[in-house]
Amino acid sequence: MTTVLGIEGTAWNLSAAIVDEDDVIAEVTETYRPKTGGIHPREAAQHHALHASNVIERLLKEYRDKGHSPENIDAIAFSQGPGLGACLRTVATSARALALSLDVPLVGVNHCIGHVEIGRWKTPAVDPVVLYVSGGNSQVLAHRAGKYRIFGETLDIGIGNALDKFARGAGLTHPGGPKVEEYARKATNYVKMPYVVKGMDFSFSGLSTAATDSLKDNSLEDVCYSFQENAFAMLVEVTERALAHTGKSEVLLAGGVGANMRLREMLNVMCEDRGASFYVPEKRFMGDNGAMIAYTGLLMFNSGTTLPIESSHVDPSFRPDTVDVTWIIDEKEVL
């Protein structure tokens, strides 16, 4: 049995977990909550620096209390990117220090792949098309020929940031996504808004601005509803085309925006129409969490991928399609 300690801290959640092949053994999370406005990168990094050592101490205590010894830990995984540079550097520093003190290898995990792998672990999905929608990221991914390929992605901001930005302008507090969902439920009219899909990519910045403008003439409820309808239809359209293109028969939803019930409903209808299975992990595994980094680190470590400390620099724009997926042997492609 392999045991890996993983640390996530690309944006607002600092979260560390210890997992083995069977389950999450311990997990501790400290969330940065801005007092006003959105995520301030420097403040988020300061939050992570302030809490890093007590998060790790509490994690190791929980692990010991459950009858395990830190000597069982085989590797330290950390989210190497994409994310906010200052946050990534803080987490990487803690991970290096831990790896040195426990004398075990370091594993650098791509955050987007972390979302995919925890979803495959915690749902029956085997080889899905993944819709990963969070604050900073929006991507449609699927495994093909040794890599997680990006079939479609945002050309500007992530859907979560687009919702949060609009919500802030409407006087709602951060994070705005859940509040937009609430108001949307009480809408009575659809208001026309931009629908931007270019090839397999989508864009949310213009939609967010148009939604803010249309608040002058329409109720907040109607604007929230219309924003969601357009944004989610764009995401579902690209997910559906990725399914058709790859011939896969499963869809996995990942990322914090995946909590949205309207998005789930639209994806579910599309999957039913195509005869595909639709999977949504438990909420604690959907947003950013330490377990996803620890578990992906475990898959990487078990398939021989570790990271020398001297090349463990972070990458704020780390793309998932640059990672060799050493832990999946695709028999169809080997033949």
Least distance in angstroms from the C-beta of 3 to ligand AMP: 25
Residue 173 DSSP label: P
Contact pattern from residue 272 through residue 301 relative to Mg ion, giving x for each residue in contact according to CB under 5 A and a dash for the rest: ----------------x-------------
Say what angle helices 205-214 and 159-169 make with each other, to 10 degrees.
20
Choose among ligand AMP, Mg ion, none what residue 163 binds, the Cβ cut-off being 5 to 8 Å by kind: ligand AMP
**How far apart, in whole angstroms, are the C-alpha atoms of residue 91 and residue 279?**
30
Choose among Mg ion, ligand AMP, none what residue 128 binds, the Cβ cut-off being 5 to 8 Å by kind: none
Per CB under 6 A, 178 contacts ligand AMP: yes
Q: How many CB atoms lie within 10 A of CB 261?
A: 10
Binding residue for Mg ion, selected from 134, 203, 228, 230, defined by CB under 5 A: 134
Residue 167 one-letter amino acid: A
Nearer to ligand AMP, 104 or 236 (CB): 236
CA distances from 110 to 88, 268, 269, 319, 324 (A): 11, 27, 30, 8, 11
Closest to 239 in 3D by CA, of 152, 126, 312: 152
Binding residue for ligand AMP, selected from 181, 222, 229, 250, defined by CB under 6 A: 181
Choose among ligand AMP, Mg ion, none what residue 220 binds, the Cβ cut-off being 5 to 8 Å by kind: none
Q: Which two tokens stand for residue 23?
A: 């389950």
Per CB under 6 A, 97 contacts ligand AMP: no
Per CB under 6 A, 291 contacts ligand AMP: no
Q: Which two tokens stand for residue 190?
A: 């659809």
Residues of this chain, 147-166, that bind ligand AMP according to CB under 6 A: 160, 163-164
Nearer to Mg ion, 10 or 203 (CB): 10
Alpha helix segments (H runs only) across the chain:
41-65, 85-102, 111-122, 159-169, 177-184, 205-214, 220-246, 261-274, 290-302, 331-334
Binding residue for ligand AMP, selected from 9, 114, 128, 287, defined by CB under 6 A: 287
The answer for 255, left when phi > 0, alpha when psi is -120 to 50, beta otherwise, is left
Contact pattern from residue 116 through residue 145 relative to ligand AMP, giving x for each residue in contact according to CB under 6 A and a dash for the rest: ------------------xx----------
Least distance in angstroms from the C-beta of 261 to ligand AMP: 7
Nearer to ligand AMP, 274 or 283 (CB): 283
Per CB under 5 A, 29 contacts Mg ion: no
Nearer to Mg ion, 20 or 288 (CB): 288
User: Do the Cβ atoms of 257 and 263 come closer than 8 Å?
Assistant: yes
Is cis: bond before 281, omega within 30 of 0?
Answer: no
Residue 154 DSSP label: B
Nearer to Mg ion, 62 or 315 (CB): 315
Binding site for ligand AMP (CB under 6 A): 11, 134-135, 160, 163-164, 175-178, 181, 255-257, 259-260, 287-288
Binding site for Mg ion (CB under 5 A): 134, 288
